[in-house]
Structure 1
Amino acid sequence: MGKSIIRLRYRKVITAASTAAWDRQVFDHTYQEFSGQTQYDNQWSQTHVLIAEPRVDPDLMHTYIQQLQGYIPDVLNTSGQRRLPFREYTFEIVNAHAGTQEEHAVAIEFYSESLTWIDVVGTNLLIAYGDQLAALRAGQDVETELIPLQPLLNIHSIQ
């Protein structure tokens, strides 16, 4: 297909097995906050958490998101650089269990800014940042990036 405006979505799942420093910080803080909620919920038991909607303080997540400096984590270009910008994210607690930190899991979905999808080269998306369709049609030079296709990275929308 190619030569379309797309947005990518990357789903980052953070579990007890996650080892990167940023992942560990998010994991530890979200588990601590979740555990604190269980102390105040009437439906809490030692073996199962029945909280209808476990939640995490949005300000806490915003602090961690700012540390990423606007780039999607784990998605590197073919030069090994983190350069794929995002403008939105969603957060969810995937698995919550009081007293069992090993079962705690969270997911953050990052949504890229608009990108011009030019082609697929091997197992890489050839993209340009922003809407570069007019420049390409006019035969102008456009700075491009190769982003390897990988698990949990999907095309979220296409125009």
Structure 2
Amino acid sequence: MTPKRIIVLCYRKIIDINSAKAWDKMVFESTYLEFKMQAQNFSLGTKYTSYADLLRNVPNAQRLTVMVTPAVTGYVQQLGGVMPDVLNNAGRRFLTFDKFQLEIINSDIDDKNRHQVAVNFYSGPMIWHDTIDIFLLISDHLPENNQPGQNGKSLTNLMQVQSYVNICSIQYLN
């Protein structure tokens, strides 16, 4: 018998000046404004305006990501715990997340066009039942997912493997 595979998925949503969806635009604007305000604490009295230069040259500049994260928290809560953009084979958003992490990819105090962030969404534990062509057959790894009177059957989703979705951890159970 094949061991049960428990996985956690991560979806990395990249947001920049060209993002078209309303939610993405709000996250972009909010994180840029917060970056600009917080980065001034590190750039004051220096010639550095870019995130990369601040990281290379200013002590504790890596804290900027943590300092900008509250600007996105309210928008993430609006998602109701369901990852954006990731759909099952029936075209429905289904993949829930337990936590998220903001990542500043690039930015510049003086150039909004260079601002780029990623919001990394992490699912709860899931059972990876099978791979069918380019699809993963998965289900939540929760006792309540087993339907009463269904002889241990689980509710599943068939999800196409897509860009920016990654299996970030795997555990084998016997």
| TM-score using structure 2 length | 0.79
Partner residue of 1:112?
123
1:42 pairs with one of 44, 51, 55: 44
The share of aligned pairs that are identical, in percent, is 37
Unmatched 5+ stretches in structure 1: none
SS in 1 for 2:98: strand
Instruction: Look up the match of 2:26.
Output: 25
Instruction: Look up the SS of the partner of 2:119 in the other structure.
Output: strand
- Higher share of residues assigned helix: 2
2:153 corresponds in structure 1 to: 141
Q: What SS does structure 2 have at the residue aligned with 1:117?
A: strand
Specify the code of the residue in structure 2 equivalent to 1:6.
Answer: I
Aligned counterpart in structure 1 of residue 167 of structure 2, from 145, 152, 155: 155
Following TM superposition, by how much is the alpha carbon of 1:153 offset from its aligned partner in structure 2, in angstroms?
0.5
Aligned to 1:94: 105
TM-superposed CA distance for 1:18, in Å, is 0.7
Aligned length in residues? 155
Q: What displacement does 1:129 show?
A: 1.1
Give, in angstroms, the shift of residue 42 of structure 1: 1.5
**Please, which moves more after superposition, 83-92 or 32-41?**
32-41
Question: C-alpha separation between the residues in 1 aligned to 2:50 and 2:121?
Answer: 30
What is the SS of the residue equivalent to 1:28?
helix
Task: Name structure 2 gaps, 5 residues minimum.
Answer: 55-60
| Distance across 2 between alignment mates of 1:18 and 1:58 | 19
The answer on 1:11 being equivalent to 2:23 is no
**Structure 1 residues 121 and 57: CA distance shift in structure 2, 3 A:** same
Give the Å deviation of 1:44.
4.8
**Root-mean-square deviation (Å):** 2.3
In 2, Cα distance between the equivalents of 1:92 and 1:80? Answer: 28
TM-score by length of 1: 0.86
C-alpha contact 1:10 1:153 (8 A) present in aligned 2: yes
